[in-house]
């Protein structure tokens, strides 16, 4: 069974460039920012960036995920589905919503906050697009739709369509005051899904590495810290509108990702590039078994080539891929041995060995 990019994102919920955003220093006009959630993967990186820039942050969440984070920050407890009382009557300059999955939740929170805030920034996804079949697709590409727009169950089939409705709900509640950021695959230290991590870890282990199709296949991802920087820049500049946030269009290949991982890890890995058709026959799934990568055909023909020109014009920058790989490996080094041994994405060593043996027997 082939799993698409959208299905994998729905069920699991960078290339070199000179960074031009400030890496230190305080913002000229400190903001009061409310973050809905803020304790997962992207949230903490963004909160830290806000703190570095001198902004005052308030977190609103249920207190279930990493409740010990940020002991020095005001925390309001509640549930965006059932209990928003802690937000009533409070004023903030901006709201960051990185946890929007159900449109009714966005309507509820944005409508309540609208009279008392000036800016609502919602984190969406490139999975909002109907397909990724055209290289260079920008923010005007056709969007996914739902057969039943009242559905509230997030699945691989509904994820993109629900995000579209979340975007529309935010704009309806705060017209002209919203920013929508559509990231691709978010990677780097703090990622617990292993959707990118598999490759640096696997390559660091060395030996023969099963690699998908051809090293020239385009892929795309964004370091979580670059995304956090862009979010904070948008809040500081009151940037509104819709922006794809991913690696530069056609700026990275799966071959470069693996070779960079090899160089950073100082590994003896060798890569065995196995054609897509053989991987399919072996039931090796793109994106989940072979993370980051999908065959560049059909609805995914434009994969790895989504345009981010609009975001880059507004300040999105990208750190060197080697930095992302290095810092991801350093993050993995903090894990217990059993966690390192069984990643949540990619092939197990045993399964990889089976497929490599089958390929060698064929050729």
Q: pTM for the whole thing?
A: 0.93
What's the CA gap between 306 and 139, in Å, rounded? 9
Contact 302, 135 (CB under 8 A): yes
* Whole-number average pLDDT of the chain: 93
**What is the rounded CA–CA span in Å between residue 41 and residue 9?**
14
Per-residue pLDDT reduced to its tens digit, 31-57: 999 999 999 999 999 999 999 999 999
Structure tokens at 125: 């996804």
> Residue 16: pLDDT band by 50, 70, 90 thresholds?
very low
| 266: Cβ contacts below 8 Å, ≥ 6 apart | none
What is the pLDDT, as a whole number, of residue 19?
33
What sign results for the dihedral spanned by CA atoms 222, 224, 226, 227? Answer: positive
Q: What's the CA gap between 131 and 145, in Å, rounded?
A: 11
Percent of the chain with pLDDT over 70: 93
Lowest mean pLDDT among 7-21, 111-125, 130-144, 258-272: 7-21
When mean pLDDT is compared across 61-65, 190-194, 261-265, the lowest value belongs to 61-65
Q: What percent of the chain is predicted at pLDDT more than 90?
A: 91
Q: What is the pLDDT of residues 173-216, one digit of tens each?
A: 999 999 999 999 999 999 999 999 999 999 999 999 999 999 99
Give SS3 for 136.
coil
- Answer positive or negative: Cα dihedral of 71, 39, 236, 165: negative
**What is the rounded CA–CA span in Å between residue 207 and residue 88?**
58
- Tens digits of per-residue pLDDT, 110-140? 999 999 999 999 999 999 999 999 999 999 9
Contact call for residues 343 and 198 (beta carbons, < 8 A): yes
Q: Distance between CA atoms of 43 and 268, rounded to whole angstroms? A: 36
Instruction: List Cα–Cα distances, 174 to 102, 167, 236, in angstroms.
Output: 17, 11, 18
Confidence band for 25, pLDDT divided at 50, 70 and 90: confident
The predicted structure's pLDDT at residue 363: 86
State mean pLDDT over 304-313: 98
DSSP, res 238: T
Pair 192, 344: CB distance under 8 Å: yes
* CATH classification number, 5-362, choose in 3.40.50.80, 3.40.50.720, 3.40.50.170, 3.40.980.10: 3.40.50.720
- Locate 109 and state its tokens: 């929170």
For the chain, domain boundaries: 5-362
Half-sphere exposure at residue 216, Cβ-oriented, CA atoms within 13 angstroms: 0
Q: Give the whole-angstrom CA distance, residue 304 versus residue 338.
A: 32
The pLDDT, as a whole number, for residue 22 is 45
* Cα–Cα distance measured from residue 214 to residue 92, given in angstroms and rounded to the nearest whole number: 49
């Amino acid at each position: 069974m082939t799993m698409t990019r959208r299905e994998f994102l729905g069920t699991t919920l960078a290339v070199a460039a000179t960074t031009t955003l400030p890496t230190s220093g305080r913002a000229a006009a400190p903001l009061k920012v409310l973050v809905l959630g803020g304790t997962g993967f992207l949230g903490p990186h963004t909160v830290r960036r806000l703190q570095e820039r001198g902004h005052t942050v308030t977190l609103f969440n249920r207190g279930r995920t990493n409740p010990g984070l940020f002991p020095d920050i005001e925390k309001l407890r509640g549930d965006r589905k059932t209990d928003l009382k802690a937000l009533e009557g409070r004023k903030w300059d901006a709201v960051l919503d990185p946890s929007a999955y159900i449109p009714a939740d966005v309507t509820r929170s944005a409508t309540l906050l609208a009279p008392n805030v000036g800016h609502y920034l919602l984190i969406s996804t490139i999975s909002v697009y109907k397909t990724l079949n055209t290289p260079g697709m920008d923010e005007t590409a056709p969007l996914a739709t739902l057969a039943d727009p009242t559905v509230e169950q997030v699945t691989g089939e509904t994820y993109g369509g629900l995000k579209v409705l979340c975007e529309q709900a935010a704009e309806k509640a705060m017209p002209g005051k919203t920013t929508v950021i559509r990231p691709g695959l978010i990677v780097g230290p703090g990622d617990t899904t292993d959707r990118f991590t598999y490759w640096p870890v696997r390559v660091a282990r060395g030996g023969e590495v099963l690699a998908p199709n051809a090293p020239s296949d385009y892929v795309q991802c964004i370091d979580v810290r670059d995304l956090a920087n862009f979010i904070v820049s948008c809040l500081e500049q009151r940037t509104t509108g819709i922006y794809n946030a991913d690696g530069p269009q056609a700026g990275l290949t799966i071959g470069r990702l693996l070779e960079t991982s090899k160089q950073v890890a100082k590994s003896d890995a060798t890569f065995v590039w196995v054609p897509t058709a053989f991987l399919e026959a072996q039931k090796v799934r793109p994106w989940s078994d072979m993370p980051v990568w999908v065959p560049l055909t059909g609805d995914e023909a434009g994969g790895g080539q989504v345009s981010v020109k609009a975001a880059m014009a507004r300040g999105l920058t990208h750190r060197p891929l080697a930095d992302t790989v290095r810092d991801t490996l350093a993050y993995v080094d903090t894990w217990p041995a059993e966690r390192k041994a069984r990643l949540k994405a990619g092939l197990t060593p045993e399964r990889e060995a089976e497929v490599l043996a089958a390929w060698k027997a064929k050729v």
